[in-house]
Amino acid sequence: MMLAVYRSFLHLYPAAHRQQFGQEMTEVFGELRAEATKKGALALAIFYSREAAGLVCGALPEHVRAFAGSQQCLSLPIRRCTMHNQFRFPKSTAVLMTIILAGVVVAIERARAIQASLPHVNPNIGPIQPAQHTFLPGIVLLLAFFYAAGLIGWAILFAVRRSGLHRLDQVSVERK
């Protein structure tokens, strides 16, 4: 019964959106409903209300997007509910994660250098001597290699997108 109600709510979306995502949305709804049913009546009620709200608040931006013909994200406050098929992470994520990892590696190296420079007895501790960093250059080289590989991968994906190969997927969907 609820699956039929969910399918009727899907008619709030534009026809193109229903054709592209409707079957997947229905399948995911069925799977999540089965999980919520196992958790009890309260979890099932929360699930139904969340799904109904998500369908209703997602339909308006999709109609605006269909009317405007834009594939870009809308800057509406209900954008959280919309479904997109593009990659969601900003391009700066890889750079920031690399910087954070490098900072952690440097901190570990410094801690090892401090530990190695301290004597293993309890008398007064003298000045801490700097240690040679043998691990850090290798990590930097490894990170540079993977960053370069990521850039090459991004360049290939960008070139494929610019060449129009992504349109082949839309052609096959339109024929169905």
Q: What is the CA radius of gyration of the chain?
A: 27
Whether residue 22 lies inside any domain: the answer is yes
pLDDT mean across residues, the chain: 78
What is the arithmetic mean of pLDDT over 21-37?
Answer: 88
Rounded to an integer, the average pLDDT of 136-158 is: 88
pLDDT tens per residue, range 44-87: 888 888 888 888 888 888 888 877 765 554 444 444 545 555 55
- Residue 96 forms part of a structural domain: yes
Which of 17-21, 24-28, 31-35, 86-90 has the lowest average pLDDT? Answer: 86-90
pLDDT for the residue 14:
86
Range of the domain at 58: 2-81
Rounded CA-CA distance 62/68 in Å is 10
Q: Is residue 98 part of a domain?
A: yes
Q: Higher pLDDT residue, 170 or 102? A: 102
Shared domain check, 113 and 48: no
Q: Tell me, yes or no, whether 43 lies in a domain.
A: yes
Q: Is 86 within the bounds of a domain?
A: no
Query: What is the tally of structural domains in the chain?
Result: 2
Q: Is 40 left (phi over 0), alpha (psi -120 to 50) or beta?
A: left
Give how far Cα 20 sits from Cα of 24, 163, 172, Å: 8, 23, 11
Quick one: 77 and 97 in the same domain?
A: no
Do residue 44 and residue 74 come from a single domain?
yes
Q: Does 17 share its domain with 69?
A: yes
pLDDT at 101: 93
